[in-house]
Amino acid sequence: MTIDEQFQAIVAGAANVFPVEELRTRLAAGRPLRVKLGVDPTAPDIHLGHTVALTKLRCCQDLGHQAVLIIGDYTARIGDPSGRSVTRPPLSAEEIERFAATYEAQVFKVLDRKRTEIRRNSEWFAEFRLDDVLRLVSQMTVARMLERDDFQERYGTGTPIGLHEFLYPLMQGYDSVVVRADIELGGTDQTFNLAVGRDLQRGAGQQGQIAVLLPLLEGLDGVQKMSKSLGNHIGITETPEEMYGKLMSISDTLMRRYVALLSTTAAESQLHPMEAKKRLAGELVARYHGAEAAAQAEAFFRERFQQRQDNAPVQVTLEPGTKEIWICQLLKQIGFAASTSEARRLASQGAVRVDGNPVDAEFRFRPGRDRLIAVGRRRLAEVRLDASEA
């Protein structure tokens, strides 16, 4: 493969690459580059949002470069403050270890195990002494740290910022020094952190890493980035039926976004949105569970919908100005419960599921996407919250 072809493969789909021309120069040197991706084990499973960067890392592996995956078992003690308006609650050492173990097992659904170097940053940070910390923090000023949008916003509104949060970008950057990264992959919310890593490397006499920033994948709500803590995620180890059903529930607009960031096949613009969702769901289930499981998940989805007497999706049109609808009110409206009291009882018994996940009686639907709602085994509906008139 030519240098230009490699360059195009690495930058494809990236939101930003800096310094971009240095990437071409580094590739022209003809040696395998060390491509770093850091993940903090702050939740038990990897979801599709994580796979955007993991897939790019696999692309670099396939180009002949060395993947370096950092499991941030030490930085997870702080928690990445990127994009957050409050300080993260701390995790216990036991939680971090359990989550780290699942990450190490699940990443190989995407990466080539034989060509992946996995490091935990506790290898070096557990040995840090106070003078090491002082040496590290001396390379950053408070003014520079407050250039970060989230820190700047919190400081301006008087929202507390823990001093330990200032350590996070420095620690992530120091990881790059230790592993001598040529390239670091990250979401667009990691721009500052990756730039700090480049500065620390240059201060240590290394070539600064090239930052390849990738778009963030929105979760099922179509608003916030995919996150298990927000409940808007699709885990790569979820059952084929759950994964397929969740993907079929996304809005048409979000479907196009998912195709752009997750699919490895060319999208056909002529496809009806429902057919495009079926194709995407089939592709992703097959990727993580196999072709046979994907076919069975599609059949399961189709059969469950055929159980309805009326094959047309249930349509719920919100009144103008309405922002949400209570699950118990919705169940009564579509005939799945005789009253809101009955709906509340069903939810409290765990009989109500949305997109395959149990919900309680306080759950509320919001407009902008289709959802799959099930009560027991036989009452199933596709609910479209149409807020176009709102």
| 169-195 mean pLDDT | 96
Region 206-230 average pLDDT: 89
Mean pLDDT of 263-289: 86
> What structural domains does the chain harbor?
3-217 (3.40.50.620), 238-306 (no CATH), 310-390 (3.10.290.10)
**pLDDT tens readout for residues 128-156:** 999 999 999 999 999 998 888 888 888 88
Structure confidence by residue, pLDDT tens digits, 237-267: 988 988 998 898 888 888 889 999 998 886 6
- C-alpha span between 219 and 225 (Å, rounded): 5
* pLDDT score, position 201: 97
User: Residue 86: its pLDDT value, please?
Assistant: 58
Percentage above 90 pLDDT, the chain = 47
pLDDT band at residue 389 using 50, 70 and 90 as cut-offs: very low
For residue 367, the model assigns a pLDDT of: 66
With a CB cutoff of 8 Å and minimum separation 6, the contacts of 323 are 366, 367, 390
SS3 71: strand
DSSP state, residue 318: P
Identify the pLDDT of residue 311. Answer: 42
pLDDT at 251: 83
pLDDT at 388: 53
> What is the predicted pLDDT for the residue at 310?
46
Nearest to 40 by CA among 84, 83, 80, 82: 80
Helices (H), 39-83: 48-62
pLDDT exceeds 70 at position 282: yes
Least confident of 18-27, 197-206, 238-247, 339-348: 339-348
Which whole-number Å values give the CA distances from 262 to 32, 62, 91, 106, in the listed order?
Answer: 26, 17, 30, 17
Q: pTM of the prediction?
A: 0.76
Q: What is the pLDDT of residues 84-133, one digit of tens each?
A: 555 667 778 888 999 899 898 899 999 999 999 999 999 999 999 999 99
Average pLDDT of every residue of the chain: 86
| Residue 130, both tokens | 């106070």
Helix, strand, coil share of the chain (percent; to 5): 45, 15, 35
What's residue 24's pLDDT? Answer: 95
Unique residue bearing structure tokens 């996150």: 227
Contact 273, 250 (CB under 8 A): no
Euclidean distance between CA atoms 388 and 93, whole angstroms: 47
- List pLDDT tens digits, range 69-82: 999 999 888 876 66
DSSP string, 272-313: -HHHHHHHHHHHHHHHHH-HHHHHHHHHHHHHHHHTSSS-SP
Q: Determine the residue type at 154.
A: R
- The pLDDT score that the predictor gives to residue 355 is 77
Q: What pLDDT, on the 0 to 100 scale, is given for residue 242? A: 86
In this predicted structure, what is the pLDDT of residue 60? 97
Highest mean pLDDT among 165-169, 177-181, 237-241, 365-369: 177-181
Q: Distance (Å, rounded) from C-alpha 263 to C-alpha 378?
A: 32
Task: Put the strands of the sheet holding 370-375 in their side by side order.
Answer: 314-317, 379-386, 370-375, 352-354, 357-358
pLDDT band at 338 (very low <50, low <70, confident <90, very high): confident
Taking only the tens place, the pLDDT of each residue in 18-40 is 999 999 999 999 999 999 999 98
Chain position carrying tokens 């500065």: 199
pLDDT at residue 269, as a whole number: 66
189 burial level (CB within 10 Å; 0-12, 13-18, 19+): middle
| 202 compared with 90, residue with greater pLDDT | 202
The partner residues of 315 in beta bridges, in order of sequence, read: 384
